[in-house]
């Protein structure tokens, strides 16, 4: 019923994925599979709500309405079985601004924050740039799948007593959807060391068959006073350019601290169109999202099948969720420099370099498959050709 097949030109729309190609890859003729937004038209219901708001000729300062808070509660309850009071919600200009506010509210300069890497780079940059100490616990590959190294994590907690466990759930870039058992163990550690869990759940809606997103706030009620969840419609409904996200913070004291930080940075205002899009997404977008998930799931399968058949030596990590595919080109026996050269100058595709997610991940690249099938086909064909006789 919805169209995910048509290619849409983003020329002249300030799309970062396209405008930064020359600067990042040194050439314009790159097919971009990097920035985590999708090449699909936004759900008709959201476009309609936006156009109708734009028709009203006054775009003044905007407040958060009851209907928006209801929409956020409705979505969280329907999709993930999570309920909370409306005062737990704070609107923020982005998940990353929320992460910064959480870091400022819950820790002091010089204190440690632990993450699982490889990881979405801005999460690690936030730790560095706020003067906190980054403690990296490398994920490990077991049975072809990324797992949390709990033994190492326990040692790191003991050694560094981190104030915050900064979690990416589901995990960008490896596409893991953390299960209940893993979340329970993480939260146990946070409780035991009296720290806090800041859970970036921006990819929560993009989950594939047999997996289920469990919000950090739905694991252990007793621990909820130590948890901040950040979420938004920006990934799943492709509205990242509207700069709107929200935090869920059940504990009053933690929430006040978080809001004070936002005020200190003057980041407490809301984006008018972002709020309209968020409310429309959560009240009228579910059918579109369900269809999107079927399309993405088919893309994921298509990608796995072609790589298995035509580039079998390439190690790839079939994601449980997210539209991001983590590829290990090192298994082709080439140096990281040659891999990069081939991707950019032979295949002419733009992926995210694994080394930006962790120093240990040279030769890995992240591929965004939130694109029409024809674009995916073209990109994969170019990659397969470039690496087939290497």
Name the site residues for ligand PLP (rule: CB under 6 A): 36, 94-96, 120, 168, 172, 200, 202, 232, 234, 240, 245
CB of 120 to ligand PLP, least distance (A): 4
First-residue to last-residue Cα distance in the chain = 42
d(CA 102, CA 246) in angstroms, rounded, equals 12
Phi–psi pair at 58, nearest 5 degrees = -115, 125
CB of 234 to ligand PLP, least distance (A): 5
CB of 313 to ligand PLP, least distance (A): 28
If the CB atoms of residues 170 and 285 are measured against ligand PLP, the closer one turns out to be: 170
If the CB atoms of residues 30 and 36 are measured against ligand PLP, the closer one turns out to be: 36
If the CB atoms of residues 172 and 361 are measured against ligand PLP, the closer one turns out to be: 172
Query: To which H or E segment does residue 70 belong?
Result: helix 66-80
Q: By the 8 A CB rule, do 132 and 198 touch?
A: no
Q: What is the DSSP letter of 171?
A: P
Q: What is the DSSP letter of 34?
A: -
Count of residues for the chain? Answer: 390
CB of 21 to ligand PLP, least distance (A): 18
Cis before 360 (ω within 30): no
And the tokens for 297?
């799931």
If the CB atoms of residues 217 and 245 are measured against ligand PLP, the closer one turns out to be: 245
CA atoms within 13 A on the CB side of 52: 9
d(CA 119, CA 136) in angstroms, rounded, equals 9
If the CB atoms of residues 172 and 236 are measured against ligand PLP, the closer one turns out to be: 172
If the CB atoms of residues 97 and 299 are measured against ligand PLP, the closer one turns out to be: 97
Phi–psi pair at 169, nearest 5 degrees = -140, 105
CB of 168 to ligand PLP, least distance (A): 5
If the CB atoms of residues 90 and 172 are measured against ligand PLP, the closer one turns out to be: 172
CB of 82 to ligand PLP, least distance (A): 19
CB of 126 to ligand PLP, least distance (A): 10
If the CB atoms of residues 224 and 238 are measured against ligand PLP, the closer one turns out to be: 238
d(CA 99, CA 96) in angstroms, rounded, equals 5
If the CB atoms of residues 120 and 208 are measured against ligand PLP, the closer one turns out to be: 120
Query: To which H or E segment does residue 301 belong?
Result: helix 286-310
Please identify the residue of the shown chain whose CB is closest to the bound ligand PLP: 94
Closest by alpha carbon to 234, among 20, 30, 37?
37
Q: By the 8 A CB rule, do 205 and 292 touch?
A: no
CB of 114 to ligand PLP, least distance (A): 16
Handedness of CA 273, 277, 278, 279 (dihedral sign): positive
State the angle between helix axes of 150-160 and 180-192 in degrees (0 to 180), rounded to the nearest 10: 20
CB of 159 to ligand PLP, least distance (A): 26
């Amino acid at each position: 019923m919805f169209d995910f097949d048509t290619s849409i030109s983003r020329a002249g729309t300030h799309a970062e994925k396209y405008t930064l190609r020359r600067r990042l890859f040194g050439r314009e003729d790159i097919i971009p599979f990097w920035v985590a937004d999708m090449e699909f038209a936004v759900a008709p219901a959201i476009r309609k709500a936006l156009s109708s708001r734009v028709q009203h000729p006054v775009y003044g300062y905007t407040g958060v309405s009851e209907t928006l808070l209801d929409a956020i509660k409705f979505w969280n309850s329907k999709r993930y079985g999570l309920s909370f009071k409306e005062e737990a919600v704070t609107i923020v200009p982005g998940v990353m601004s929320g992460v910064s506010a959480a870091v400022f509210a819950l820790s002091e300069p010089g204190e440690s924050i632990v993450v699982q890497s490889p990881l979405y780079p801005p999460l690690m940059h936030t730790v560095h740039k706020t003067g906190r100490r980054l403690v990296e616990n490398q994920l490990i590959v077991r049975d072809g799948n990324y797992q949390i190294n709990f033994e190492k994590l326990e040692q790191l907690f003991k050694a560094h007593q981190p104030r915050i466990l900064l979690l990416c759930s589901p995990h960008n870039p490896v596409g893991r959807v953390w299960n209940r058992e893993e979340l329970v163990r993480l939260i146990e550690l946070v409780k035991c060391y009296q720290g806090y869990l800041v859970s970036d759940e921006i990819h929560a809606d993009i989950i594939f068959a047999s997996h289920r997103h469990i919000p950090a706030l739905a694991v252990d009620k007793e621990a909820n006073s130590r948890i901040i969840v950040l979420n938004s419609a920006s990934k799943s409904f492709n509205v990242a350019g509207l700069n709107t996200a929200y935090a869920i913070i059940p504990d009053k004291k933690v929430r006040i601290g978080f809001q004070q930080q936002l005020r200190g940075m003057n980041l407490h205002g809301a984006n008018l169109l972002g709020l309209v899009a968020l409310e429309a997404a959560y009240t009228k977008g579910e059918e579109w999202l369900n269809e999107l998930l079927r399309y993405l799931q088919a893309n994921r399968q298509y990608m796995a099948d072609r790589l298995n058949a035509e580039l079998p030596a390439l190690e790839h990590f079939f994601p449980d969720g997210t539209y991001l595919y983590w590829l290990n080109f090192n298994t082709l026996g080439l140096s990281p420099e040659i891999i990069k050269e081939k991707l950019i100058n032979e295949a002419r595709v733009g992926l995210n370099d694994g080394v930006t997610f962790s120093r240990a991940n040279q030769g890995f690249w992240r591929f965004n498959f939130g694109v029409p099938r024809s674009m995916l086909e073209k990109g994969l064909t170019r990659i397969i050709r470039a690496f087939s006789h290497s």
